[in-house]
Structure 1
Amino acid sequence: MGSFWGFLYRQLTFKPRPLPATVDLQGMTALVTGANGGLGLEACLELAAHGASRIILGVRDPSKCDVTKSIQAKNPNADVQVWQVEQESFASIKEFADRAASLDTLDIVILNAGVKSVEYVKSTKGGHELNTQVNHLGTALLSLLLLGPLRKTGATVGAPARLTIVSSENHFWVKLKEIKGPDTLAHLDDKETFGKDMDRYNLTKLLNVLWMRELSNRVSGDVIINAVNPGFCRSGLHRGHASGASFANMIGWTAAQGGHCLTDAATQHPRDHGAYISEQTVKSPSPFVLSKEGQNAQVKIWNETIELFEREAPVSDLLSNLKT
């Protein structure tokens, strides 16, 4: 993996498969962020079709999310709820997670929300570079805050709950050059480090993989944590990137096919933990991730991210669901 020609070959020859008909999610609660359209919505539709009893859509603006009826058409008995979460805002993320903590069960979480900004933008709500704020910091904080209800469910039902973080093959195409600096995350807020075109988006997809691997090391077996590459799909992710949208229209998978990749990662592979799943198969992440430098980066990003949360999004029990 990782070469352009390998990527192109897989895009043109592999077609993601829907979940097997035998998958039965009755009685389960699934939560999907970035679910008002695209891959997130398609994942919700497929989870509903397999009997999920409650589906929670995490969206930025519930007033613009009119998909409840389409999900219930797949499963008229499903309890479909639309919850607001603004992944630029730590306060919004904490409110969302507090609401999730009140659920009687939370079996499946797919952290799919993300942005692809090809120009430097600083988040007005979080204060950090936008890709970093949404794709890494927002996802990381939410992953920590949802561990409580996931672990509770896993212990209650006697089977691990599932936490899936959406990454990308793009993480192969970057090395974290800033890792040798004294404060990598702060360095990423400097406009001079942004690079061009998709450089920063790609880097945040690497951060997703590094974070997932370190988080999985620190969580016991009652929650299975993996990252998934959904493939290159036609979706709203490319709305601000004309060349990316054009290329996706040429060779991209459908949003439904990308959704199959998300649901596969979130319901299959029961014995895999800390895995990178691509083309619905566990594969090796990038050579950088597996290198000594990558392992050092993994721990460094973890430590810096936790320190940032302690300053900017303090939660008294943020780390209470990790191994002691």
Structure 2
Amino acid sequence: MSGGPYPWYMYRSQWSSLPPAPKGNYLDGQTLIITGANSGIGVEATKQLAALSPARLILAVRSVESGEKLAASLKSKYPRTAFEVWSLDLLSFDSIKAFVRRAEGLDRLDVLINNAGMNPTFSDKIPRKASKDGYERTLQTNVLAPVLMTFLLVPLLRKSSSKGHEPKVIFTGSEVHTFAKTEPVTESFVSGRSILGDFNDEAKYVNSTRYMQSKLLLQMITRTLVPILDGITLVNVNPGMCLTSLGREMEFPFSLRTIYEVSWYLFNVRSASKGARNLSTAVAFTKESCDYWSNCKIHPSECTYLTTATGIKAQAVFYAEVLEELEKIAPGCTKVISQ
């Protein structure tokens, strides 16, 4: 969180009127997986999706106990839906693989919602923290892990396809990708160094910009996948800046600056329920892949960097690096992509 300055379109977006959460049997007979279902936007999105009559709603969470509480609260209200809570830790590739092996036992999977994420803080005093897999935690949670989950589950998703029904993959992105610092991406690309490697380099780590840049990197990946992930409707969703526990690990020193930033945040923030409408409307209404869904509709990204020659070339290079890295983690997982 930083109290600006932000582009004018960010404020326009935050204060835009959104349609109500969808109602009806849009998900009748379908099986859904939503990661990070037990906190923040995930809780509200799960509630909104449950109202759309899915046959099965799987809550993929780190805290099974917390997930069970949410599932129990929904079961009485939506008795026709089977709510299940599965353990998943995106900071462990072994956990992701175990989750996918379990999912392969499902008879179908219609929607995968890659919602879980993390924001390390906006303070430069916080050092880089790595997962047990050796990757910076925000990079793994917000970029590598959801893409790996998607690749591993694509075969099951495609198997569930039928005439007039195309499975969906939803990524929770963010409008912050539009004003993330792009210089590190350009510097790595122009110098011929690995973009992924540099973002995982402790010596080059800048904590305050990491969350925004992770969403830029995710946008680069999903934008590349949109035209080539055959048989899947893929959508990158911007829920907007919401009042959630996403920044639960943040540490703020007491100061006038902190008071200003907290006040600015509380004045401009959306409720988690309002932000979750972007996810539920994307699941219910999208008929075609799009690289940005904002304010409950297809929306052009304001990230001009990704429209420049440098940005386009850097995106292609980063995408290739991610594919190569994921092949090391789960050999064969990228074969689901059209070459």
Note whether the superposition's TM-score is higher than 0.5.
Answer: yes
Q: Name which of 128, 137, 156 aligns with 1:130.
A: 137
Rg larger for: 2
Q: Name which of 231, 235, 258 aligns with 1:226.
A: 235
Q: 1:159 to 1:42 in 2, by over 3 A?
A: same
Q: 1:96 to 1:245 in 2, by over 3 A?
A: farther
Does the CA contact (< 8 Å) of 1:239 and 1:245 recur in 2? no
Distance (whole Å) between structure 2 residues aligned to residue 218 and residue 3 of structure 1:
33
Q: Aligned letter for 1:183?
A: S
Query: TM-score, normalization: structure 2?
Result: 0.87
Aligned partner of 2:199 in structure 1 is: 188
Q: 1:256 to 1:73 in 2, by over 3 A?
A: farther
Q: Aligned letter for 1:166?
A: T
Q: Name which of 104, 119, 126 aligns with 2:107.
A: 104
Distance (whole Å) between structure 1 residues aligned to residue 84 and residue 114 of structure 2:
16
Aligned partner of 2:70 in structure 1 is: 67
Which is further off, 288-297 or 76-85?
288-297
Q: Aligned letter for 1:172?
A: T
Aligned partner of 2:338 in structure 1 is: 323
Distance (whole Å) between structure 1 residues aligned to residue 127 and residue 77 of structure 2:
40
Q: 1:62 to 1:247 in 2, by over 3 A?
A: farther
Q: How does 1:77-88 map to 2 (within 5 A)?
A: 77-88=80-91
**Residue 326 of structure 2 corresponds to residue 309 of structure 1:** yes
Does the CA contact (< 8 Å) of 2:89 and 2:95 recur in 1? yes
**Residue 10 of structure 2 corresponds to residue 7 of structure 1:** yes
Distance (whole Å) between structure 2 residues aligned to residue 245 and residue 99 of structure 1:
42
Does the CA contact (< 8 Å) of 2:22 and 2:280 recur in 1? no
* Number of residue pairs the alignment of both structures matches: 316
| Superposed CA offset, 1:117-164 (max 9, x none) | 13333223221111111111111111111111111111x454111101
**Residue 93 of structure 2 corresponds to residue 90 of structure 1:** yes
Query: TM-score, normalization: structure 1?
Result: 0.91
| Superposed CA offset, 1:42-78 (max 9, x none) | 1111111111111001111213322112222441111
Q: Aligned letter for 1:115?
A: M
Distance (whole Å) between structure 1 residues aligned to residue 110 and residue 11 of structure 2:
35
Aligned partner of 1:114 in structure 2 is: 117
Q: Note the C-alpha offset of 1:321.
A: 2.1
Q: Aligned letter for 2:200?
A: D
Q: Name which of 287, 292, 295 aligns with 2:309.
A: 292
Aligned partner of 2:212 in structure 1 is: 202
Q: Note the C-alpha offset of 1:24.
A: 2.4
Which is further off, 29-38 or 234-243?
234-243
Distance (whole Å) between structure 2 residues aligned to residue 99 and residue 245 of structure 1:
42
- Secondary structure at the aligned position of 2:275 is classed as helix
Q: 1:185 to 1:247 in 2, by over 3 A?
A: same
Distance (whole Å) between structure 1 residues aligned to residue 60 and residue 189 of structure 2:
32
Distance (whole Å) between structure 2 residues aligned to residue 98 and residue 247 of structure 1:
44
Distance (whole Å) between structure 1 residues aligned to residue 292 and residue 21 of structure 2:
18
Q: Name which of 281, 288, 296 aligns with 1:264.
A: 281
Distance (whole Å) between structure 2 residues aligned to residue 18 and residue 55 of structure 1:
21
Does the CA contact (< 8 Å) of 1:35 and 1:57 recur in 2? yes
Does the CA contact (< 8 Å) of 2:306 and 2:312 recur in 1? yes
Distance (whole Å) between structure 1 residues aligned to residue 83 and residue 264 of structure 2:
34
Give the root-mean-square deviation of aligned CA atoms.
Answer: 2.0
Does the CA contact (< 8 Å) of 1:36 and 1:59 recur in 2? yes
Distance (whole Å) between structure 1 residues aligned to residue 8 and residue 218 of structure 2:
24
Aligned partner of 2:255 in structure 1 is: none
Aligned partner of 2:56 in structure 1 is: 54
Distance (whole Å) between structure 1 residues aligned to residue 228 and residue 120 of structure 2:
31
- Secondary structure at the aligned position of 2:117 is classed as coil
**Residue 175 of structure 2 corresponds to residue 169 of structure 1:** yes
